[in-house]
Amino acid sequence: MGNGTVVSIGTFDGVHKGHQAILTEVGRQAKARQLKSVAYAFEIPPRWTAEREPFRFLLLPRPLKTRFLKEYVDRVLSVSLSQVRDLSPETFANHILGNELNAAVVVVGTGFRFGRHREGDVERLREIGQRLGISVVSVLPVEEEGIPVSSTWIRRALRGGYIDQATRLLGRPPILLGEVSPGDHVGRTLGYPTANLVVEEQILLPAVGIYLTHVFYLGRQSEGLLYVGSRPTLGGGELRCEIHLLTNPDQDLYGELMEIQLLERLREDRTFPSLTGLRRQIERDIAEAKKRLPRYAACARSFSG
């Protein structure tokens, strides 16, 4: 391998189709020049410090994002915004790209911004790069329906419950990781036990409702129904994520990590007049899930390992 690296910079939230195009170009440049490839990945998007996004906003927890990035690059650097927030574009390029990363090539999207207050753009990066001996390659956006794919668009889709749209933009199903914690066993009382999931509090949850899912845990695969909501039939309360496995696990799952892949939204959340009404609806949900599952058999694979 030669001296220097090929670097891309961004948050890479979701590692969606647009990110994948940039990362593929990073790999192509690194192979052609026989250099190591690096993803310099912010933990949260820099602009959010000013925009004050809602607390739940990330599409992937950091370990899973890193896992996806490592499919494309040799090294992933996870970076806190506080480390670089106050650096001017010139200082960022000199100290981070030049000194820290020894960058020979930087690959970014055409809308890339960097430096304090996001002052720098691709053209400014090219100007600075010329002085530092760093080549800059910009990658055109990947479009769906004539619109550039973006993490913002995917968040909007998930908040609306449009799982098919989010899946197209990501190039894979949306994923939640949740640890099983003790619940109040209401599902068991109804005859349909659920696992109560604790999802990292910065991760965006989809719109409330019932979702058809693939579930991976303990090296196993099952199908399931994910409930996201406040259980209005039971009097309401805090937002919950509960998964009903269509295959009985035959063991205690408390403390286990589950990978939940969202396939489609079956219905919205609603209030039922009684627990009997809720039980009958769950029966209908399961019957509908079993009818729809065959169309998703080909995409059943774990991404979290």
Q: Kindly report the pTM of this predicted structure.
A: 0.91
Q: Which residues of the chain does CATH 3.40.50.620 include?
A: 5-144
The CA–CA distances, whole Å, from 270 to 274, 279, 281 equal 12, 13, 10
**pLDDT at residue 55, rounded to an integer:** 58
- Residue-by-residue pLDDT tens, the chain, 305 positions: 568 999 999 999 999 999 999 999 999 999 999 999 999 999 887 666 545 554 568 999 999 999 999 999 999 999 988 788 889 999 999 999 999 999 999 999 999 999 888 899 999 999 999 999 999 999 999 999 999 999 999 999 999 999 999 999 999 999 999 999 987 656 667 778 889 999 998 999 999 999 999 999 998 999 999 999 998 888 777 899 999 999 888 778 899 999 999 999 999 999 888 888 888 999 999 999 999 999 998 788 999 87
Domain 173-299 in this protein, CATH class = mainly beta
**pLDDT at residue 231, rounded to an integer:** 85
**pLDDT at residue 56, rounded to an integer:** 65
Specify the CATH architecture of the domain 5-144. 3-Layer(aba) Sandwich (3.40)
> Which residues, other chains included, contact 204 with Cβ-Cβ below 8 Å and sequence gap of 6+?
56, 57, 58, 59, 155, 158, 159
Q: Which residues of the chain does CATH 2.40.30.30 include?
A: 173-299
